[in-house]
Chains A and B, each alone.
Chain A
Amino acid sequence: MDHLTPALARSWILSTARLIEQNAQHLSDLDAAIGDGDHGANMSRGFQAVAKKLEGDAKADDLGALFKVTGMTLLSTVGGASGPLYGGFFLDLGKQCASRAALDAKDLADVLDSGLADIQRRGKAQPGDKTMVDALAPAIAAMRAAGDDIVTATRAAADAARNAATATAPLLARKGRASYLGERSIGHEDPGANSVALLLDALASATGA
């Protein structure tokens, strides 16, 4: 296994939808501590809509179309800031993959890097601001370091994202609703970093299955 094919990518998205659904309450709990308590419900609503769309839409059979449908659906259904952030991320992935049949491990890291840049451009977040970026950036770095085997690379990325999400707890939130809490945001994990960890976990299980 050395490529992310459209079939695997579809399985990645659907698997993300399942993981988000299973962890919706946990994500909302994390968000309730430092935000408006809706991250799990929002992400769940968005990814369930994506899953429904993909199930009814066999046409999204190339990477570009698949990611575009995912992005557009998230934009219009999530509701919170993660809508434009995740939606824009997937739209960017769609653009990167427009004429590509499959991605090898290096391509995948490049594409995710471009998606990360889109999130940072949109959300104006820097590493250390206690956001999604804090899980996604180390995950991509770990993916590049793990070499050419996509199973190993995505597993390394998932582990890195998980650890990085946990490591957001001591950070001071500088973006989004959590930033209103100032010092009181310290000691809680960032919900966005946690949903990124789920996204990469789903990627690892899709390629490793």
Chain B
Amino acid sequence: MIGLVLVSHSRALATALSQLVLQMTGPDFPVVVAAGVGDDHQEIGTDAVHIAEVLQPFCEGDGAVVLMDLGSAVLSAQTALELLDAEGITGAADKIRLCAAPIVEAAIAAAVQAKAGASLDAVVSEAKGALAAKAAQLGDDAPAPSAGPDGAAAADEAGLTLDLVIENPHGLHARPAATLVQTAARFQADIRLRNLSNGRGPAPARSMTGIGLLQIRKGDAVRFEVSGTDAGTAVATLRELADARFGEAADGSEPGTPAPVMTPTPVGGTGTPPVAISEGIAIGRPLPLASLEVDLRDGPTATPAEERARLTEALRQASDGIGTSHIGSGAATDILAAQALILSDPAVIEAVETRILRDGQSALAAWRGETQALADAYGAMEDDYLRARAADLRDLSNRVCRILAGVTAPQTLAPEPPAILLVDELLPGDAMAADPRHVLGILARSGSPTAHAAIIARSRGIPMVVSARDWTAAAEAETVALDGATGEVWIDPDDDARLLIAGRQRDHLARLQVFDSTKHLPATTLDGVTIAVFANVGNATDAAAATENGAEGVGLLRTEFVYLGRQSVPTEDEQVAALDAVFAPLGPGPLVVRTPDIGADKPLAFLPQPPEHNPFLGIRGVRLSFRHPDFFASNLRAILRAGTGRDLRIMVPMVTSPDEMEQARALAQAAHRTLEAQGIPHVWPVSLGMMVEVPSAALMVEQFSRSADFFSIGTNDLTQYILAAERGNADLDDLQDPVHPAVLQTIAGICAGARTAGRHVGVCGDAASDPLAAALLIGCGVQSLSARANRVGAIKAMVRRTSAAVLQRLAEEARRCDTAAQVRHLVRESLDARGGVI
């Protein structure tokens, strides 16, 4: 499909126009913005190098029509084509067409044609004719629109005036003028200004050109004339803006980032800095979630036998409720499935029943007493991973209590008007109930990025920060803002901060939109290296999301969903049916299915394991599979059957030594022979690869290359094992970062070994969803990335804006750093200079 590239002086203009276009075409049309200048492209102007970067993927694809506003936009677009040509990018001359038609009309007309599959010539021709409809509507001799009344406020509205002296060293030049324009645009009121010192004006305060023509210099007296509904607020805001020198520091330099408000550490809180949990910017009223702690009234206590029957029934309902829950991502449903196990835990049930039968407690009181005590006990544990599970227990406890009290659990948390939720600790159930349209963001007093609720918040796109020190102040504030990427929190932000937040919000949304509009294009670097971008899938919802979000296949299909939450071993047919349901929404791309990674934090009810002191170093993944050979054989047969007619590959988790791969291969061959003997259709032969997450596997790539057809790096576990830092331990988060030099060194080693042996290396861990980390992975030699479905667009956009040669040098430098923090700093410095690569 022919794409559309919008080149404008103003990023806002081009972004807004791309929205108009997408309204016409639907979300999967390749319309891309190349606009603005400066580090984050927020300043007015055009950047030929940036335009070339945006155009490059289209040169290798179906081509694009470029529409420009005027002046330098045209010159820069022409220059961009020359740059591409000079770099030897073929296709620039044939596949990219600069079109002189008026940008708005032409964008709509061209997009509709392109979406219909028209040729480049046809799209250009349609664009050129785009003005005809408007000309016809207005008549050929329609008079040019007359200029509006010269600044006079409407007579029936009381106009306000504000006189002040400009103190900016260079007067109201581009940057402060832009700040003024942005501020003026927030108000309904008509705002005009005059330069009283030279008699120029009035000019509309929303016009850069208008303000420029007033030639406002340092020391000039300026009069704002404001009229309209919110004139009073506008005047107050303008006064504050002028006091703040229109966002410019006294020496005329760019304003620094306003420091986030630092509030005193609350009693009982911790002094640890805020933790960024889930990316996104939110601003709104704070709403404490204490209201969720419903006052559960207990009815009169019946006989112990009746109370015990009520408990049994409530547990059954809770379990069913979890079983039928389909909201959220794969991660979320896995979490619920694991919770369901607790509902059938005989030790818990026995203890609750004892309270009912022996102590005469009601079912509700007994359940609540027992589970809360259990949660408290977990909360006090030394082991951080177990401590984090206390939230799961409280969540589950609430679920059952609500059923016993006859209170319907809120299916959705949807505050009106929308708000920022303040929670003590976010519970998984609340995270799943939160409606992203109404829950703008979440500020929690405690929690860690690896907690289940955090994973769910990320998968649902709700910005979230954990900050004990801001929490108390936030509860008493009128407005709270947070940046889930940096962990910053603002309490009652002032206008400067609001401007900054609004800017980031705009930038964030614009970026999401670019990701969205280009997600189906291939991810090829500027120097021509194509990286395959796949999605991770854990259930049917994920599978549909993968296809929608432009994933070229599935780099990791987790099969645990087939087994978690089940009380008995599923038959082979049941397994095939469950896999079929998840495969159904997938496109024709590669599909890498991982055999069950059970154990550690994902125990199975029907494969009881003896307690392990350190389950992450215990019987998990393929180690568990080998201990249950019949079960493993049925898994392999089910996967082969479900893969009939697909480009399916099998991947084995937690492999530590080469003989395990040989054993797995023998079992896969046995599964094939069994199916063949029975005449059951299945896919064969299949590629058999392995996860690289155990250090021994990373160090023995050469040996493994004899038995594994491909490698996929699980960065989460690899990081935890290389750095000896447990994933759930919030106190070790500096050692949980996959961009740690030691991890990068390991990954580079894996890639080098695999290249020699001719084996493909991909990454399916969380690092593949983080553009900064993903950039380094490519630099280390990784050939494919499998990300969360909703990050595919972001990862592809990153790849397209950079070059593999640059990333290789950057990764080499990163491996020489001392810490993960240094690596992140290095990459930001280096890639930010290239204009928002990450």
CB interface residues, B 760-805, toward A, < 8 Å: none
Knowing A32-B213, A78-B37, A176-B71 are in contact, say whether A83-B76 is a contact too (CB < 8 A): yes
Which chain B residues border A78 with CB–CB below 8 Å? 37, 45
The answer to whether A84 touches B75 (Cβ under 8 A) is yes
- Determine if B79 is an interface residue (Cβ-Cβ < 8 Å): yes
B215 touches A84 (CB 8 A): no
Within 8 A of A (CB), among B22-56: 37-38, 43-50
Asked if A79 and B215 make an inter-chain contact with CB atoms under 8 angstroms apart, the answer reads no
B44, A79: Cβ atoms under 8 Å?
A: yes
**Residue B173 at the A interface, CB < 8 A?**
yes
Residue B642 is within 8 A (CB to CB) of chain A in the complex: no
Q: Does B209 sit at the interface, judged by CB under 8 A?
A: yes
**Which B residues are in CB contact (< 8 Å) with A83?**
37, 45-48, 72, 75-76
For chain A, the count of residues having a C-beta within 8 Å of the partner chain is: 32
Does B681 count as interface, using CB distance less than 8 angstroms? Answer: no
Contacts of A25 in B (CB 8 A): 170-171, 173, 217
Interface string of A64-90 (1 = CB under 8 A from B): 000000001001111111111101100
A24 within 8 A of B: yes
Q: Is B208's beta carbon under 8 Å from chain A?
A: yes
A38 pairs with B170, CB closer than 8 A: no
A123 to B78, CA, bound (A): 10
Option from B43, B76, B170 in Cβ contact (under 8 Å) with A84: B76
Which of A31, A36, A77, A80 has the most chain B CB atoms closer than 10 A to its own CB?
A80
Is there an interface contact between B76 and A38, defined as CB atoms closer than 8 Å? no
Q: Which residues of B contact A82 (CB under 8 A)?
A: 72
Q: With an 8 A cutoff between CB atoms, is A100 at the interface?
A: no
How long is the Cα–Cα vector from A177 to B835 in the complex, in angstroms? 27
Chain A, range 76-129, C-beta contacts under 8 Å to B: 76-85, 87-88, 122-123
Check: A42 CB closer than 8 A to any chain B CB: yes
Task: Give the secondary structure class of A's interface.
Answer: helix
A105 to B556, CA, bound (A): 65
Interface presence of B212 (CB below 8 A): yes
Instruction: Verify B49–A80 contact, CB threshold 8 A.
Output: no
Chain A contacts for B71, CB-based, 8 A: 80-81, 176-177
Q: Mark B167-191, 1 if CB is under 8 A from A, else 0.
A: 0001101110000000000000000
Q: Which of B44, B173, B209 has the most CB of A within 10 A?
A: B173
CA–CA, A76 and B83, complex, Å: 12
Find the A residue at minimum CB distance from B200.
Answer: A32
Task: Please tell me if the beta carbons of A37 and B212 are within 8 angstroms of each other in the complex.
Answer: yes
Give complex CA distance A40, B75 in Å: 19
- B212 and A38: CB pair below 8 A? yes
A30 to chain B, nearest CB (A): 10
Complex interface: chain A residues within 8 A of B45 (CB): 38, 42, 78-80, 83
Determine the residue in chain B with the shortest Cβ distance to A24. Answer: B170
Partner of A87, one of B79, B175, B208, B209: B79
Task: Kindly state the separation between the CA atoms of A79 and B44 in the bound complex, as whole angstroms.
Answer: 7
Cβ A76 vs Cβ B47 within 8 A: yes
Q: Which residues of A contact B170 (CB under 8 A)?
A: 24-25, 28, 41
Whether B47 lies near A81 (C-beta < 8 A) is: no
Q: Which residue of B lies closest to A80 (CB)?
A: B72
**Nearest CB of A to B601, in Å:** 47
Q: Which residues of B contact A40 (CB under 8 A)?
A: 173
- Inter-subunit contact A85/B50 (CB<8 Å): no
Flag if A41 contacts B173 (CB, 8 Å): yes
Inter-chain contacts of A123 with B (CB < 8 A): 75
Write the B94-114 contact mask toward A (1 if CB under 8 angstroms, else 0). 000000000000000000000
Alpha-carbon distance between A200 and B576 when the two chains are bound, in angstroms: 77
Residues in A141-189 with C-beta less than 8 Å from chain B: 176-177
**Are B49's CB and A76's CB within 8 A?**
yes
Q: Which residues of A contact B173 (CB under 8 A)?
A: 25, 28, 37-38, 40-41
A29 to chain B, nearest CB (A): 6
Nearest-CB residue, chain B, relative to A38? B174
Hey, which chain A residues are within 8 Å of B215, CB to CB? 29, 32-33, 37
Task: Give CA–CA (A28, B47) in the complex, Å.
Answer: 20
In the assembly, what is the distance between CA of A176 and CA of B75, in Å?
11
Contact call A81/B75, Cβ cutoff below 8 A: yes
Given contacts A83-B72, A87-B79, contact A41 B46 (CB under 8 A): no
Docked pose: A146 CA to B224 CA in angstroms: 55
Chain A residue contacts of B78, Cβ below 8 A? 84, 122
Q: How far is the CB of A20 from chain B (nearest CB, A)?
A: 13
In the assembled complex, the Cα of A79 lies from the Cα of B83 at a distance in Å of 16
CA gap between A79 and B72 in the complex, in Å: 7
B79 A84 Cβ-Cβ under 8 A: yes
CB distance from A146 to the nearest CB of B (A): 32
* Chain A residues with CB under 8 A of B175: 41
Measured CA separation A123–B79 after assembly (Å): 11
Identify which of A29, A41, A81, A84 gathers the most chain B CB atoms within 10 Å of its CB. A84
Instruction: Name the residue of chain A whose CB is nearest to the CB of B79.
Output: A84
Q: Is the CB–CB distance between B213 and A77 below 8 Å? A: no
Report chain A residues within 8 Å CB of B9.
79
| CB proximity of B112 to chain A, nearest CB, Å | 31
Which residues of the partner chain A approach B213 to less than 8 Å between Cβ atoms?
Answer: 32, 37
Closest A residue to B835 using CB positions: A76
Nearest to A176 among chain B residues (CB) is B71
Report chain A residues within 8 Å CB of B75. 81, 83-85, 122-123
- Give the docked Cα–Cα distance between A75 and B47 (Å): 6
Least CB distance, B302 to chain A, in whole angstroms: 77
State in angstroms the CA–CA spacing of A159 and B49 once bound together: 34
For chain A, residues 25 to 55, give those with C-beta under 8 angstroms from any C-beta of chain B.
25, 28-29, 31-33, 36-38, 40-42, 45
A87 to B46 CA separation, bound complex (whole angstroms): 12
Closest Cβ neighbor of A29 among chain B residues: B215
Interface 1/0s, chain B 76-95, versus A by CB < 8 A? Answer: 10110011000000000000
Distance between Cα atoms of A20 and B38 in the complex (Å)? 18
Q: Decide: A41 and B174 in contact? CB cutoff 8 A.
A: yes
Q: Are A87 and B48 in contact (CB under 8 A)?
A: yes
Cα-based distance from A123 to B171 in the complex (angstroms): 30
Complex contact B44–A38 (CB within 8 A): yes
Interchain CA distance A143-B577 in the complex, whole Å? 84
The B120-176 residues at the A interface (CB cut-off 8 A) are 170-171, 173-175
Q: Which residues of A contact B835 (CB under 8 A)?
A: 76
Q: Verify A79–B46 contact, CB threshold 8 A.
A: yes
A40 CA to B48 CA, complexed, in Å: 19
Across-interface contacts of A42 in B (CB, < 8 A): 45, 174
Q: Do A77 and B209 contact each other (CB < 8 Å), given the known contacts A83-B47, A84-B75, A87-B79?
A: no
Q: A77-B47, A80-B45 are in contact. Are A88 and B174 (CB under 8 A)?
A: no
Residues on the A chain within 8 Å of B48, using CB: 75-76, 83-84, 87
**Is B47 a contact of A32 with CB atoms below 8 Å?**
no
Interface centre among A29, A33, A41, A42 (most CB of B within 10 A): A41
The digit string for B196-231, where 1 denotes a CB below 8 A from any CB of A, is 000000000000110011010100000000000000
B residues less than 8 Å from A77 (CB atoms)? 37-38, 47
User: How long is the Cα–Cα vector from A25 to B217 in the complex, in angstroms?
Assistant: 9
Minimum distance in angstroms from B603 CB to a CB of chain A: 55
| Proximity string of chain B (806-838) to chain A, C-beta cutoff 8 Å, 1 when within and 0 when not | 000000000000000000000000000001000
A37, A72, A77, A81 interface centre (most CB from chain B within 10 Å): A37
Contact A37 B76 (CB under 8 A): no
Encode A177-205 as 1/0 by CB contact (under 8 A) with B. Answer: 10000000000000000000000000000
In the complex, which residue of chain B has the Cβ closest to the Cβ of A73? B49
In the bound assembly, the distance between CA atoms of A36 and B10 in angstroms comes to 14
Structural contact, A84 and B72, CB atoms closer than 8 A: yes
Residues of B within 8 A of A (CB): 9, 37-38, 43-50, 71-72, 75-76, 78-79, 82-83, 170-171, 173-175, 208-209, 212-213, 215, 217, 835
Q: List 10 A-B contacts (CB under 8 A).
A: A25-B170, A31-B212, A32-B213, A37-B213, A41-B174, A76-B50, A77-B38, A80-B45, A80-B46, A80-B72
Give 11 A-B pairs besides A42-B45, A75-B47, A85-B75 with Cβ atoms closer than 8 angstroms.
Answer: A31-B212, A32-B212, A41-B173, A72-B49, A75-B49, A76-B47, A77-B38, A80-B72, A84-B48, A122-B79, A123-B75
